[in-house]
């Protein structure tokens, strides 16, 4: 029951070294796979300076696609998806996310950054809004429940929540305290960051209509093992 940590990274030169330092030092993690999603900064060079597998996609394909490539290269059956834009990641954070899956308490554990008791209550207990977090640990079979066309761009997190439940797997959320991250507006600039946030929100809203109202996924479950289209990339091991 080894653990593969997977980072789908796009222009994360400011924070990825700190994230990789925490992951590579943690005894629970057996390997780290970094997939640079067409980064144009020093993300790839920084990742290559660590003892990790680094895959550099030559063009930007979206977060879900980069995660899929990471899964294909991961050797182990517990997948730990980690955002590359975090800081102050500790062993306590890592253990609180991994242990529930290792112990069999759940099949997917979603890490949710602390937003205060009121917002946490409405978001997690009252289910106000989807739980969209890129920090999550799951068994490989949970990932494999998601049809390929939902393994792209910003669809992947909401799709994982939906298909995990549809397949009868157990999921839970763990609130993560004192974990920082760079917001899109800080990383990309105000206007590009706002544009990216709008595109993400729009895609997630449309996806929820697809999943819960139109249910088009019932016609293509057979596609879940269809190979992704080939792309060019550089592999550094």
Grouping H, G, I as helix, E, B as strand and the rest as coil, residue 233 is strand
Of 57-61, 86-90, 205-209, which range is least confident? Answer: 205-209
pLDDT of residue 127: 61
pLDDT exceeds cutoff 70 at 89 = yes
Pair 204, 130: CB distance under 8 Å: yes
pLDDT exceeds cutoff 60 at 132 = yes
Q: What is the DSSP string of 99-131?
A: HHHHTTS-SEEEEEE---HHHHIIIIIS--S--
Average pLDDT for 181-189: 73
Residues 32 and 60: their CA atoms lie apart, in Å, by: 21
Q: When comparing pLDDT for 105 and 231, which is higher?
A: 105
pLDDT exceeds cutoff 60 at 128 = no
pLDDT of residue 173: 94
Percent of the residues in the chain that have a pLDDT greater than 90, as a whole number: 66
Q: Domain 3-236 maps to which CATH number in 3.90.550.10, 3.40.1190.20, 1.10.340.30, 1.25.40.20?
A: 3.90.550.10
Residues 16 and 34: their CA atoms lie apart, in Å, by: 10
Specify the pTM: 0.91
Residues 65 and 232: their CA atoms lie apart, in Å, by: 13
Identify the residue whose tokens are 């796979």.
33
């Amino acid at each position: 029951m080894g653990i593969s940590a997977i980072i789908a990274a796009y222009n994360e030169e400011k924070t990825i070294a700190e994230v990789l330092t925490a992951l590579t030092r943690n005894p629970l993690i057996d390997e780290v796979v970094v997939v640079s999603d067409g980064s144009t900064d020093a993300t790839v060079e920084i990742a290559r300076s660590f003892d990790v597998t680094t895959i550099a996609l030559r063009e930007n394909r979206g977060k879900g696609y980069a995660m899929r490539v990471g899964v294909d290269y991961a050797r182990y059956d517990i997948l730990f998806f980690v955002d590359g834009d975090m800081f102050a990641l500790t062993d306590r954070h890592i253990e609180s996310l991994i242990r529930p899956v290792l112990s069999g308490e759940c099949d997917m554990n979603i890490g949710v950054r602390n937003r205060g008791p009121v917002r946490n209550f409405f978001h997690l207990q009252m289910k106000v809004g989807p739980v969209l977090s890129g920090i999550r640990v799951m068994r490989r079979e949970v990932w494999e429940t998601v049809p390929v066309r939902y393994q792209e761009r910003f669809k992947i997190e909401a799709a994982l929540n939906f298909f995990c439940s549809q397949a009868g797997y157990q999921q839970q959320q763990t609130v993560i305290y004192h974990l920082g991250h760079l917001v899109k507006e800080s990383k990309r600039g105000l206007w590009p960051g706002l544009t990216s946030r709008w595109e993400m929100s729009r895609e997630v809203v449309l996806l929820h209509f697809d999943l819960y109202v139109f249910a088009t996924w019932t016609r293509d479950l057979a596609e879940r093992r269809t190979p992704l289209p080939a792309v060019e990339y550089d592999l550094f091991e």
